[in-house]
Amino acid sequence: MILSVILDQNVAPVLTEYLTIQRPHWIVRHVTDIGLNGATDQAIFEWAQRHEAIVITFDEDFADTRMYPVGTHAGVIRLRIWPTTTEATEAALGRLLATTPDAALPGSLVVIDNQRIRIRRTARHG
């Protein structure tokens, strides 16, 4: 399954390479790749929706289902891990990739913390 993914500005740009290696069939971009560095959450979200891209972010606002209801967007992966190092982020994303089929991600809200992965999705997405 080909997925488009956009990494928010608070996610290290080197993680584009990690995800591309782990999922070579995904289209992975960082906000700096598309001229959105320093952009507002709304601008990033709107870009993601136009390109049907899943947003990967540390920003808790993207996990607010009042602002971004599950099933009304292409998907959000909210990283809620500590420390926020590249290594810890790779480990968290690795857990997600090892346990969750690609098909479960579009339209879903995924929250990854240090112990677990929670996925909220609408019925039409799984």
* 106-118: b (≥16 Cβ within 10 Å) or e: bbbbbbbeeeeee
Q: Residue 100: which domain range?
A: 4-125
Per-residue pLDDT of the chain (126 residues; tens, 9 = 90+): 899 999 999 999 999 999 999 999 999 999 999 999 999 999 999 999 999 999 999 999 999 999 999 989 999 999 999 999 999 999 999 999 999 999 999 999 999 999 999 999 876 544
Q: Is 108 helix (H, G, I), strand (E, B) or coil?
A: coil
Is the CB of residue 71 less than 8 Å from the CB of residue 103?
no
**What pLDDT is attached to residue 76?**
98
- Integer Cα distance of 14 and 39 in angstroms: 19
E strands present in 4-106: 4-7, 27-30, 53-57, 76-80
**What pLDDT is attached to residue 122?**
76
Give me the number of domains the chain comprises: 1
